[in-house]
Chain A
Amino acid sequence: MRHLLSTGDLSRDEATLVLDTAAELAQVSGRSVKKLPTLRGRTVVNLFYEDSTRTRTSFELAAKRLSADVINFSAKGSSVSKGESLKDTALTLQAMGADGVVVRHPASGAAHRLAGWVDGAVLNAGDGTHEHPTQALLDAYTMRARTGRVEGLRVAVVGDVLHSRVARSNVLLLHTLGAEVTLVAPPTLMPVSVHTWPCAVSYDLDAVLPKTDVVMLLRVQAERMQNAFFPTAREYSRRYGLDRDRLARLPDHAIVMHPGPMVRGMEISAEVADSARSTISEQVANGVSVRMAALYLLLGGS
């Protein structure tokens, strides 16, 4: 594999390799010298067409820990915002000799297009409502670190599945790794063909929770109300938000995950977000290790 565009492209062995590699690389952040020489002399471009300080910083840190040169090419204040096409930008990156391009873009498929225009490896850091592979990998990593396995885990993914790149990447990856995924959302926020996806579907969160090892909450944007996806934030939160009462329905060992940024009070109550069940801060730390692993595996060899 030359690029990381979709978790659907990863075989079980490849996905496991990323997680294993990340587990080894996680040690680096505990050392006094938090750096490996592996990607010395390699150039990684962070090409971000959407504001995402969290993801960009995570990739930047990951690349720097591997000693790569990192160029941040953000949409603001560059030719990108002046209407330069993605292709022209790609040709510029090509001319700069970018060995790897980390791309975040509001259009689904932008990473695929970019991969056709540059020689370097393309890492999809989120493309529209399509995929966000490293997020899914770090989620799987976090599940494995917390529970010791991914295979056979019962994972409920709750929220705006329709518009979620995190949900798409997670369904594909978790299925590959042998987890049992149940998507939970109001029917309006489910894709019409969701029954063809390798997962179960439910509209009833309360019924799903007792049979769940991992609850993954997706961000729900309040502006979805304007398109009648649900009547009010209050009703959404009442039916699908994770609060203390719902937390109590979970088995004792179950964990609560959120890809961030959270809308506290909407899909998750502050109390739940800050509880010991929550892996939210671990997810951030694990993100760096998983991205180091992805960068190493794509750029570290010939």
Chain B
Amino acid sequence: MTHSSAAHLIRGARLTGRDPADILIRDGVIAEVGPGLSAPDARVVEADGLIALPGLVDLHTHLREPGREDAETVASGARAAAAGGYTAVHAMANTDPVADTAGVVEQVWRLGRESGHCDVQPVGAVTRGLAGERLAELGAMAESAAAVRVFSDDGMCVSDPLLMRRALEYVKAFDGVVAQHAQDPRLTEGAQMNEGVVSDRLGLAGWPAVAEEAIIARDCLLTEHVGSRLHVCHVSTKGSVQILRWAKSRGCDVTAEVTPHHLLLTDDLAESYDPIYKVNPPLRTAEDVQALREALADGTIDCVATDHAPHPAEAKETEWATAAMGMLGLETALSIVQHTMVDTGLLDWAGVAERMSAAPARIGRLSGHGRPIAPGEPANVTLYEADTAWEVDPAALASKSANTPYRGMRLPGRVTATFLRGTPTVLDGKIQ
């Protein structure tokens, strides 16, 4: 990070895809935006043909530290995030120990600060040990140095309706949000993949869409009833989209995210029995994928979240049933969104900025992120070359793990630079 204090003049970038302009970054903030800027002391970043986006924000990242540092650390995850154009990520609470106390969330937050590649905002567990029995000390985590606002038992569903109601009520006191991993546990006992034609043929225990949809419907009603704020993690089915649309139309304060992989991949990939495609929630059908894309386009789904879930090789080089669930996402997310949403005409770059930066920052109450690229704003900027393509090589990713489902695929677009409060974390496509 040799250029941390230097000023940078980004020349000719198209702001969220519009007309080219120069961006002068000084002292961690955006000093000026406009055509033909000059600053003799600034390092010039040629951005002709590049798209400038506000630094991306991920609401849903698994960094594995503490506990599984062999799969990912806060530092390696933050590098992967920077490489993917992110300036802030929310680190999920299902670490070991679980991030259910002020002590653990502060540890994670500090590790993120030390890494310097990306802001790491811890998510606090809703229940102690993710056990779904008793509330964790939500207030203490909110008041800690990490200032936790997003609470989630992700990986586990807060399935007890009474406990969910209490959590939703309780977080109102500090403007928190409960991010629900919607999965009815009884309906998904032993579940391996989306329940349907493919699971029946493969003899893999089915994971019915209703297990997700029933929880979302219930939680929307609870949220409306207690006047709180609900966020739905990784929406994966068409039915969920319809329920969310209905809940929003009633004025329910619910937001939702979709993962890049659910915007692209379908359950028939499981026919290889390669658990690289095993993920929670499972890959669904083409019809679901289409519904999710449309929902992201029309705002029923508010944002894209990666659910970046690193796993060591041995957790995937096994038979399907014993393999770990989850896939990498940080370094491919923007390319997948371009491929599924922009190149299909469903979303423009301003829409991408909203779905991948502004909305997640708003939901997570990160005031320093997701801001427009305008004078006086924190200089969190991502430069992206849309008119290129690259082949995904798992070994070349910054993540410590290699479990990407896109191995060998050609994806459009590459992040060429990421600035975190004026400091380049990625420059010329290389992590700094």
Chain A residues within 8 Å of B, Cβ to Cβ: 85-87, 105-110, 112-113, 127-131, 165, 168, 191-194, 196-197
Contacts and interface: CB of A to CB of B under 8 A. Distances in A.
A127 B203 CA distance: 9
Nearest to B317: A87
B321 to A, nearest CB: 4
B85 interface: no
A165 B319 contact: no
Nearest to B192: A108
B319 A168 contact: no
B196 A107 contact: no
Given A109-B202, A113-B273, A128-B203, A193 B318 contact: no
Interface string B319-363: 111100000000000000000000000000000000000000000
B321 A85 contact: no
Contacts of A110: 319
Contacts of A85: 314, 317-318
Contacts of B196: 192-193
20 contacts: A85-B317, A107-B319, A107-B322, A108-B202, A108-B204, A108-B320, A108-B321, A113-B273, A113-B318, A113-B319, A129-B205, A130-B202, A168-B203, A191-B206, A192-B195, A192-B206, A193-B196, A193-B197, A194-B200, A196-B200
A191 B321 CA distance: 18
Contacts of B321: 106-109, 128
Given A85-B314, A109-B273, A191 B319 contact: no
A109 B197 contact: no
Nearest to A194: B200
Nearest to B272: A112
A105 to B, nearest CB: 7
Contacts of A105: 319
A153 to B, nearest CB: 23
A165 B203 contact: yes
Interface in B247-275: 272-274
A110 B318 CA distance: 8
A201 to B, nearest CB: 12
Interface in B184-218: 192, 195-197, 199-206, 208
A105 B320 CA distance: 12
A82 to B, nearest CB: 15
A106 B192 CA distance: 14
A37 B201 CA distance: 38
A130 B321 CA distance: 12
Contact of A109 (B204, B206, B208, B314): B204
Contacts of A112: 272-273
Interface in B295-324: 314, 317-322
Contacts of A196: 197, 200
A238 B329 CA distance: 53
Interface string B383-426: 00000000000000000000000000000000000000000000
A264 to B, nearest CB: 26
A196 B192 CA distance: 20
B185 to A, nearest CB: 14
A130 to B, nearest CB: 3
Contacts of A86: 318-319
Contact of A191 (B200, B272, B320): B200
A107 B205 CA distance: 10
Which 5 A-B pairs have CB atoms at the shortest separation, nearest pair first?
A109-B273, A130-B203, A191-B200, A107-B319, A129-B203
